[in-house]
A and B are shown apart, each in its own frame.
Chain A
Amino acid sequence: MLRRTPQHPDALLMERAQAVKGRSLLADARRRLFRNKAAVVGMVLLGLITLMAIFAPFLSPYGYSDIDYDVISCAPNWWPADPYTCHAGGLHWFGTDIVGRDLFVRTLYGARVSLAVGIVATFVSLLIGVLYGAAAGFIGGRVDGVMMRIVDILYSLPFIFFVIILMVIFNQNFVLLFVAIGAVSWLTMARIVRGQTLSAKQKEFVEAARAAGVGNLGIIWRHIVPNVLGPVIVYVTLTIPGVILAESFLSFLGLGIREPLTSWGVLISDGAATMQSAPWTLIFPAAFMTTTLFCFNFIGDGLRDALDPKER
Chain B
Amino acid sequence: MAEAVLAIRNLDVRFQTPDGQVHAVKNVSLDVKEGEVVGVVGESGSGKSQLFLAAVGLLATNGRTTGSALYRGQELVGAPSAMLNGIRGSKITMIFQDPLTSLTPHMRVGEQIMETLRFHKGMSREDAARRALQTLELVRIPEAKRRMRQYPHELSGGMRQRVMIAIATACGPDLLIADEPTTALDVTVQAQILDIMRDLKTELNTSVVLISHDMGVIAGMCDRVQVMRYGEFVEAGPAEEVFYRPQHPYTRMLLDAMPRIDKPSREGHSTLKPWNELKPTLLTVDDIKVHFPMRIGGAIFPKYKPLRAVDGVSFTLKEGETLGVVGESGCGKSTLARAIIRLLPKTAGTVVWCGRNLGDAGENEIRGLRKEFQIVFQDPLASLDPRMTIGQSIAEPLRSLEPGLKGREVNARVASIMEKVGLDPAWINRYPHEFSGGQNQRVGIARAMILKPKLIICDEAVSALDVSIQAQIVDLILALQAEFGMSLIFISHDLSVVRQVSHRVMVLYLGRVVELASRDAIYSDARHPYTQALISAVPIPDPKLERAKPRQPLPPELPSPLDTRSALMFLKSKRIDDPDAEQYRPKLIEVAPGHFVAEHDRV
Question: Would you call B150 an interface residue if the criterion is a C-beta within 8 Å of the partner chain's C-beta atoms?
Answer: no
Which of A99-107, A204-212, A268-276 is the contact stretch?
A204-212
Q: Which 4 A-B pairs have the closest CB atoms?
A: A22-B430, A212-B397, A213-B370, A204-B383
Q: Is B71 an interface residue (CB 8 A)?
A: no
Interface status of A156 (Cβ within 8 A of chain B): no
Docked CA distance A222–B436 (Å)? 24
B434 at interface (Cβ–Cβ under 8 A)? yes
Interface residues of A in 292-312 (CB under 8 A from B): 309, 311-312
- A5 is contacted by which of B45, B338, B401, B469 (Cβ under 8 Å)? B45
Whether A208 contacts B17 by the Cβ 8 Å rule is no
Q: Mark A18-52, 1 if CB is under 8 A from B, else 0.
A: 00111111101000100100000000000000000
A227: CB under 8 A from chain B?
A: yes
| B387 contact set on A, CB distance < 8 A | 24-26, 226-227
Q: Does A83 contact B (CB under 8 A)?
A: no
Q: Which residues of A contact B439 (CB under 8 A)?
A: 7
- On whether the beta carbons of B19 and A212 are closer than 8 Å, the reply is no
Residues of B within 8 A of A21 (CB): 429-430
Given contacts A2-B15, A16-B424, A22-B389, 6 further A-B contacts (CB under 8 A): A4-B436, A5-B230, A20-B428, A20-B430, A22-B431, A213-B401
A212: shortest Cβ distance to chain B, in Å?
Answer: 4
Q: Which residues of A contact B431 (CB under 8 A)?
A: 22-25
Q: Are B343 and A211 in contact (CB under 8 A)?
A: yes
A223 interfacial by beta-carbon distance below 8 Å: yes
Give, as a whole number of angstroms, the nearest-CB distance from A82 to chain B.
51
User: Which residues of chain B are near A12, meaning CB under 8 Å?
Assistant: 424
Stretch at the interface among B371-379, B491-499, B500-508: B371-379
Question: Which of A2, A26, A207, A222 gathers most chain B CB within 10 Å?
Answer: A2
Assembled-state Cα–Cα distance A91/B192 (Å)? 87
Q: List 10 A-B contacts (CB under 8 A).
A: A2-B24, A5-B230, A12-B424, A16-B426, A21-B430, A25-B387, A205-B382, A205-B386, A207-B338, A218-B400
**CB proximity to A under 8 Å, residues B340-393:** 341, 343, 367-368, 370-371, 374-375, 377, 379, 382-389
B484 within 8 A of A: no
Residues in A with CB closer than 8 Å to B549 are none
Say yes or no: A214 contacts B400, CB within 8 Å: yes
Q: Is B43 an interface residue (CB 8 A)?
A: yes
Tell me the nearest residue of chain A to B469, going by C-beta.
A6
Contacts of A35 in B (CB 8 A): 18
| B437 (CB) vs chain A CBs: closest residue | A6
Among candidates A16, A211, A215, residue contacting B341 with C-beta atoms closer than 8 Å: A211
Contacts of A25 in B (CB 8 A): 386-387, 431, 433
B44 within 8 A of A: yes
**Bound state CA distance, A8 and B42, in angstroms?**
14
Task: From B368, B385, B437, give the contact of A209 (CB < 8 A).
Answer: B385
Are A227 and B430 within 8 A (Cβ)?
no
In whole angstroms, how far apart are the Cα atoms of A218 and B401 in the complex? 12
How many chain-A residues does the 8 Å CB contact rule pick out? 40
Q: Does A14 contact B (CB under 8 A)?
A: no
Interface status of B438 (Cβ within 8 A of chain A): yes
Nearest CB on B from A36, distance (A): 11
Answer whether residue B244 sits at the interface, using C-beta atoms and an 8 A cutoff.
Answer: no
**A1 close to B (CB within 8 Å):** yes
Interface residues of B, Cβ cutoff 8 Å to A: 15, 17-19, 22, 24, 43-45, 47, 50, 230, 338, 341, 343, 367-368, 370-371, 374-375, 377, 379, 382-389, 396-397, 400-401, 424, 426-431, 433-439, 444, 447, 466, 468-469
**With A and B bound together, what is the CA distance between A5 and B437 in angstroms?**
10
Q: CB-CB < 8 A to A24: which residues of B?
A: 387, 389, 431
A214 touches which of B384, B396, B428 (Cβ 8 Å): B396
How far does the alpha carbon of A308 sit from the alpha carbon of B382 in the complex, in Å? Answer: 16
A205-B385, A214-B396, A311-B18 are known contacts. Are A1 and B426 too (CB-CB below 8 A)?
Answer: no
B19 with A3: CB separation less than 8 A:
yes
Interface assignment of A149: CB less than 8 Å from any CB of chain B: no
When C-beta atoms are compared, the residue in chain A nearest to B344 turns out to be A207
Q: Which residues of B contact A20 (CB under 8 A)?
A: 426-430
A22 touches B367 (CB 8 A): no
**In the complex, A213→B363 CA distance in Å?**
10
B47 CB to nearest A CB, Å: 8
Cβ A32 vs Cβ B400 within 8 A: no
The answer to the question of A258 belonging to the interface, with a C-beta cut-off of 8 Å to chain B, is: no
Is A212 within 8 A of B426, CB to CB?
A: no
Q: Are A204 and B382 in contact (CB under 8 A)?
A: yes
Is A6's CB under 8 angstroms from B45's CB?
A: yes
Q: Are A212's CB and B447's CB within 8 A?
A: yes
Q: How far is the CA of A25 from the CA of B387 in the complex (A)?
A: 6
User: How close is B585's CB to chain A, nearest CB, in angstroms?
Assistant: 31
Do residues B385 and A223 form an inter-chain contact, with CB atoms below 8 A? yes
Question: B472 — nearest CB in chain A belongs to which residue?
Answer: A9
**Bound complex: CA A212 to CA B389 (Å):** 16
| Nearest chain A CB to B464 CB, angstrom units | 11
A28 proximity list for chain B (CB < 8 A): 433
Tell whether, in the assembled complex, residue B18 and residue A204 are in contact, meaning their CB atoms are under 8 Å apart: no
A2 touches B50 (CB 8 A): yes
Distance between A116 CB and nearest chain B CB, rounded to angstroms: 32
> Are A1 and B44 interface neighbours, CB within 8 A?
yes
